[in-house]
Structure 1
Amino acid sequence: MNMNSTKMTFMNTMMIGVMVSTCSNSWMMIWAGLEISLISFIPLMEKESVLSTESSIKYFIMQSISSSMMILGMIMSMKTISWTLISYSMLIKMGTAPFHMWMISVSEGMTYMNLFIMLTVMKMPPMTIINYNMTENPIMSMMSLIMGSLMGLNQTSTRKILTYSSVYNLGFMLTLSKTTSNWMWFLFIYSTMLAMTMMMMNTLSISYMNQMSINNKNILSKLNLWIMMMSMSGLPPSIGFVNKLMTIELMIQKNQMLMSSMMIMTSLIVSFYYTRMMFSSFMFQSMSMKWQTKMNNKMYISMSMLSIMTSPILITLKCIS
């Protein structure tokens, strides 16, 4: 996405809307912040393609439906029904399973920058509103874990794989929704991983899995992308392992063995399709000695070190405290 003054204005307005809806105590101001961020994000999705226009329309329709449900919940006087409508409207807005199919369709017509905003920044206000409810959704969490892991197996588009992975990670976030610090920490680490992964895929111009095997970039860039895949799948010692460890440990402390078992089983499936994405790429250069690769690109080295070294440091600090 080429930035100019107009897009910078829309980006700033979008962030203002997110902050307004996240920090407000009034329901009307929360709704206003959501609408400001929505109307500012749609122009950023503009691109010279039919898919971009289709994605913008689909995104606008689904966000309008969820906002209408939220307003209806605000108007309802019965507290139980009101909270249910508001919670489900936020689940639709985030793309939680089984309301995730619109997000898969929208992701195909977006750039990596816009996809990153949709999968991270635009989820902050809905998660904050769900946190106000202080109730967990174990069924929605399990459905997100199952659908996000299984449906990503038969995908070839990297955008769809990352979107299904986001649905999967939403299952983790929903289990942490009662504690503000936990889900915000989870979202921060996930955003860091996703930003590095999408930066690499955008640099290498990768949109489909077969492009990884025919890509003639140097070994260092492929090795760095492999490390990013490790982070996204949550394999130790990458930074993504901290998120899974924190959530599963909390579930065990709450004696929710079914949920923790579901997280562990589905994480194996997610690890499989992320590992598969880079397996063929390295097979074409299997005879080269990776440890003799000259590390010349500082950006690749920094991203790799951040992904690998952060996890042991955070776990050590947690054990000390």
Structure 2
Amino acid sequence: MAARIASITGAEHTAMLGLGVYRPERIVTNDEVAGPIDSSDEWIRTRSGIRTRRFASPEETIVSMSVAAARDAIEAAEIDANQIDCVIVATSTWLLLTPAAGPQIATALGLENVAAFDVSAGCAGFCHAVALASDLVKGGTARHVLAIGVEKLTDTVNPKDRGTAFLFADGAGAVVIGPSDEPGIGPTVWGSDGTQHHAIRQDKDWMEFFAEIDERGLDAVRPYLAMEGTAVFRWAAHSLEKVCRDAIERAGLTTDELDAMVPHQANGRIIEIMARVLKLPESCALANDIEETGNTSAASIPLAMEALMRTGDAKPGGSALLIAFGAGLSFAAQVVHLPNWK
């Protein structure tokens, strides 16, 4: 008979204990990005709902932005940093295939010998990280997990691409996830649709780029983020209502019991459509951080949570539906209690 392997169990319930964010200092107006794409402030606002966004400087990196957001999240959670024993980083703009950003971020935070890894699920990455972190704590693999969403999309977007240059921006958000006396993170509803992989993608792989260099030398065009906006809009507008309703139902709630909805800040029109089809009550606050922050991919959910509470539209402890979707195409949703924030 095989030797019996011991098993462990963790917390019965989990919650987001603290939230921190980092917004780059530089505020960029529509007029600034409109020139290279032959556009205008009115066109951009009408098409996306964006008025301003933040662009990171060379000194504001994936690591530095993550560390700043994480430190505030740990402080808001009112725990010691040494109680963190896992770091999950959701990002699509860490420009090294290896090593991952997670270990460097953990070390910069002074965390020693903790598990640290990256998750690549596009704009849905943060909600994926929340799901993983919650399950790690429930399973006993970790005590407290730092889940970070961070992007420096200005490194990957062609400023002359009319389909992407006005949309994407930079920033970071982090939450500490740990044990709770009552459920603070509901079951996650997630999935993917690989038939739509072309809708948001890197426009060439690195081997194609290297081949161009061999053939054309310095005239080779680097890979950029490419998006088929109409395809993404249609997919999101018509596919995500069921995901949202499933997440609310699995949390044991109804839409009338939601205090807030925090959708991925992809496009103002998509946000409006999602709120309308769900028939949210007037008492339910709707995050619309895209107006000031743009689309920050994996960072958009935590940034939007912070904006919602900073403006007083929602409060810590309130019930909120998180829903995100992006490259893959991937999606994830869960109902949570909003965390303390700094």
Q: State if a TM-score over 0.5 links the two structures.
A: no
- Which has a greater percent of strand? 2
Q: More relative contact order in 1 or in 2 (CA 8 Å, sep 6+)?
A: 2
